[in-house]
Amino acid sequence: MPGKRIAWPQTLMARRTDALRAEHLRFVREAPRGGALHCFVLDCSGSMLTGAALALAKGLLIALFDRASAARAEAALICFGGAGADVRFGPAVPRWWNERWLRPVGGGGGTPLASGIRRAAQLLEQSARVKPAQQRWLWILTDGRTRDEPARPLDADKVVFVDFERAAVRLGRCAALAEAWGARRVTPEELIG
């Protein structure tokens, strides 16, 4: 593959004692040239208080911010719940991140997913104008307990729905939105493990 560097240790481990073949080749994952922005959209509605989903989401956010910081990527946090959505952090490279940032984030009220996505779309659009080469990720952490069906933000290069739905009767809205948006859907356990 032209322009790709071979990751020799991984290639040699894949080869073992066989003769080197194309399927043994492993390549170095290169960071996007323009950097990356990870925009996290956190559902802080009343339904996320059930089963401590909001607490799990906040813990997961700390780990995801740590990953962004290690990769020198920018991050942003948008919280939505009750009547609207607001930006709580960024976009900026998180220099340090700990639970003190998330402790004041409470839950309650309705699930204005459309407001959260609209605010994320604005943030991503502004980022696209200022840093067009930047890769923009949109992470939506929600249980999907809403009737909102927002459109996928145009400036999101990759979208990941982190599905916190745990109710006995599942609505499957995260899966439906992920499919409609051509996005990836994961559970918190998949990201933790």
The yes-or-no verdict on residue 181 having pLDDT over 80 is yes
- Predicted confidence at residue 2, as pLDDT, reads 46
Give the H/E segment covering residue 163: strand 158-163
pLDDT of residue 29: 64
pLDDT tens across 2-41, in order? 457 787 878 877 888 888 888 888 877 655 567 899 999 9
Is the pLDDT higher at 29 or at 167?
167
Q: What is the pLDDT of residue 106?
A: 61
Residue 93 one-letter amino acid: V
* pLDDT for residue 154 is more than 90: yes
Q: Which residue has the tokens 């290069």?
A: 157
Distances (CA, A) of 56 to 41, 161, 164: 14, 15, 9
Output the pLDDT for position 38: 95
CA 46, distance to chain mean position in Å, is: 21
Q: Is the pLDDT of residue 104 over 60?
A: no
Q: Which two tokens stand for residue 38?
A: 């990870």
Calpha distance 33→11 (Å, rounded): 24
Quick one: pLDDT at residue 1?
46
Domains recognised in the chain with CATH numbers = 1-30 (no CATH), 32-192 (3.40.50.410)
Cβ–Cβ under 8 Å, residues 80 and 39: no
Percent of the chain with pLDDT over 70: 85
